Structure 1
Amino acid sequence: MDERLFAALASWLEHRAVVLASVVAAQGATPRRRGSRMLVTAASSLGSIGGGLAEARVLDAARGLLESTSTQASIEIDLGGGAQSAGVCGGRMRIALRRWSTQDLERARAIRDLLAGGDRVVLGADDLGAPGVEDLARPDVRLLIVGAGHCGAALCELAARLEFDIHVFDARGECLEQPAFASAHTHAGDVGVLGSLLEGRRDVQAVLLNRDFHADVAALEVLCARPPRFLGMLGSRRRIGEVRKALPGCREVLRGLVAPVGLDIDAETPHEIAVSILAQLIAERRHY
């Protein structure tokens, strides 16, 4: 979310002041954890710090800050179930509010560009509007989909809503012309292009959804030279075993291969399979 959020911040600041609301502390059961952020303008917002009455109070406080001469404020959200609390979850959250204006445009663009380049960015107290607090803004994880068949198309469609930097490879260029891949970066031709997609500092989650055994082997020969953070492959257990046997030189890397990829939810259709894979990818990237 940080990559999209700071790109929007840099764009919006060209026309209006914007409040950055950040969860800087969370205890007990809360809807969002530390590091969750949202943007608030006088008429709109982007992102979420949890929804419900808690978020409504944050929106009111942020818009109050926009009308004031101050640049920062904070709001405590009590979810303990009392008369003045915002919920009954049982936890507490502290939200820092920082009003950004046109004089902050250069900093917003710098953060945007660093995240777009795959770098993490330390957000200081002045960025957050929280004295003594630092946080880390993270670029989107790259989702590398290898195979542009039915499952690859379904995975790309659903992942487009989940803040991934999506790249799709298939040797067959005509397969990449489907509408499902319109929002992704697509690559056709020689499988060696996969190596360039593993370069840089951005975390990569690679999922093999190829149509045949030979395509799996060719892709894994490239991916094993520079293993991504997550490597998963779809297929029957027999096929997976045959792929492993065909790559004796990759045995050590393939110990970490998640195959068959996806949570076991008895998925059958392409979109059900995509849901099972995305649930696993989300769980994995929470630890990055």
Structure 2
Amino acid sequence: MRDIVGDLERWLAAGEKIALVTLVRTQGSTPRLPGARLAVTRSGKMAGSISGGCVENDLYERALHVLDSGQPALASYGIADDGELGVGLSCSSTIEVLIEPFAAAAAWQVLRCELADERPVAIAIALSPPALLGHTLVVRGDGATSGAIAAELDHQLVAEAQRLLGHGGTNVVACAWQAGQAEIFIEAFAPPRRLFIVGAAHTAMPLCRLAKILGFRVSVIDARAAYLTLERFPEADDLQRAWPHEALARVGLDDNSYVVILTHDPKFDVPALACALRSQARYIGIMGSRRTHAQRLAPLREEGFNDAELGRIRAPIGLDLGARTPAEIAVAVLAEMLAVSHKRDGCALAARTGAVHATH
């Protein structure tokens, strides 16, 4: 959703008629995961994707029908037929999407504002029965709601949404409703992962740039004003001129925080590592050779850190990609951060068996 919010806002301001397609269910290995969205306008504009190109043309035609009728609709796609223009997926998988007219309803405004302010928020959309299809409830982190699906369901949905908000993600839940049951798609948007780059070194520049592409909120910390400039870091969310350990102590590192230390100077490195180790930071990595890192560990042990605590430090930093240039090193570091984020070991997919993604 975050990647198309700007397009939706521009199109609404221009008076465009918009349909929003949401991927709500998948089976097997699919190009996109539940929560992927495609927005289309009657005038032919498109933003986002559902399948990487396999079904988007057909979805556009279906979206026009939804705009004509004003009613939401579900659509499913499986393996494409053998015809030259067969519509479907090239892999042995299936997807289900919800197509609905999009308008600037109050619930949308709450969702947009919470996303813009980087606060946790969830959206619940009814998939069945037909009487509820497309009804929407937005749940903020504090439990406040906007919109409604059904009075007897909303309380249950708030509880499930808040459960998901801790880590983000999607779920389809079945709830008893009247004489049958209702199926509700819920997507929770956790705040963006936070990356704190300590040291405005050369590698920090591509690291900042690539991390922003991946959706991180990036802060660059350095005590040296000459290095810490907007010209060097135009994409950064925050530039902090300070001693690194003091800046890290102020920001409140948590399990949504990733710390990368590039200063390569003991007077910065050791205090910054000590501060990060006292926190719940998800990832702590530092530049330098094994010999350099061994020299850093001695003063940290003197401060009382044990081997298990020191084992949290990723050093040498990054996956073994053979990286040499600053940009290559940035890729290796981000690859390791993503592996930690998704609880993977970073090995080649070709060496694995089974589905690429978890089954939903």
User: Per-residue CA shift, 1:46-91, capped at 9, x if unaligned?
Assistant: 3222312223323332343233321x22221213665544232111
Cα distance in structure 1, aligned partners of 2:66 and 2:255: 35
Q: Closer, same or farther in 2 for the Cα pair 1:197/1:64, shift >3 Å? A: farther
Q: Closer, same or farther in 2 for the Cα pair 1:119/1:229, shift >3 Å? A: farther
> Quick one: which amino acid aligns to residue 21 of structure 2?
A
> Quick one: which amino acid aligns to residue 138 of structure 1?
A
In the alignment, what sits opposite 1:277? 333
Give SS of 1:124's match: strand
Select which of 305, 310, 318 maps to 1:254.
310
Select which of 187, 193, 205 maps to 1:153.
205
Matched-pair contact (CA < 8 Å) for 1:118–1:202 = no
Q: Closer, same or farther in 2 for the Cα pair 1:228/1:58, shift >3 Å? A: farther
Cα distance in structure 1, aligned partners of 2:13 and 2:310: 48
> Quick one: which amino acid aligns to residue 259 of structure 2?
A
In the alignment, what sits opposite 2:192? 140
User: Per-residue CA shift, 1:6-63, capped at 9, x if unaligned?
Assistant: 4654554344443332221111121112222333333433322231222332333234
> Quick one: which amino acid aligns to residue 153 of structure 1?
M
Give SS of 1:228's match: coil
In the alignment, what sits opposite 1:89? 91
User: Per-residue CA shift, 1:66-120, capped at 9, x if unaligned?
Assistant: 33321x2222121366554423211111112232213x1x322322332344433
The question of 1:195 aligning with 2:249 is answered: yes
Cα distance in structure 1, aligned partners of 2:209 and 2:120: 26
Give the TM-score taking structure 1 as reference length. 0.85
Matched-pair contact (CA < 8 Å) for 1:27–1:92 = yes
Give SS of 1:140's match: coil
Cα distance, 1:218 vs. partner? Answer: 1.9
In the alignment, what sits opposite 1:237? 290
| CA RMSD in angstroms, aligned pairs only | 2.8
More displaced 10-residue stretch of structure 1: 109-118 or 214-223: 109-118
Matched-pair contact (CA < 8 Å) for 2:258–2:281 = yes
In the alignment, what sits opposite 2:163? none
More displaced 10-residue stretch of structure 1: 90-99 or 190-199: 190-199
Q: Closer, same or farther in 2 for the Cα pair 1:243/1:118, shift >3 Å? A: farther
Q: How many residues end up aligned between the 2 structures? A: 283
Identical aligned pairs, as a percentage? 29
The question of 1:213 aligning with 2:266 is answered: yes
The question of 1:67 aligning with 2:123 is answered: no
In the alignment, what sits opposite 1:26? 26
Matched-pair contact (CA < 8 Å) for 2:70–2:101 = no
Matched-pair contact (CA < 8 Å) for 2:49–2:56 = yes
Query: Which one has more relative contact order, counting CA pairs under 8 Å at least 6 apart?
Result: 1
For structure 1, list consecutive stretches of 5 or more residues without a partner in the other structure.
none
Q: Closer, same or farther in 2 for the Cα pair 1:81/1:226, shift >3 Å? A: farther
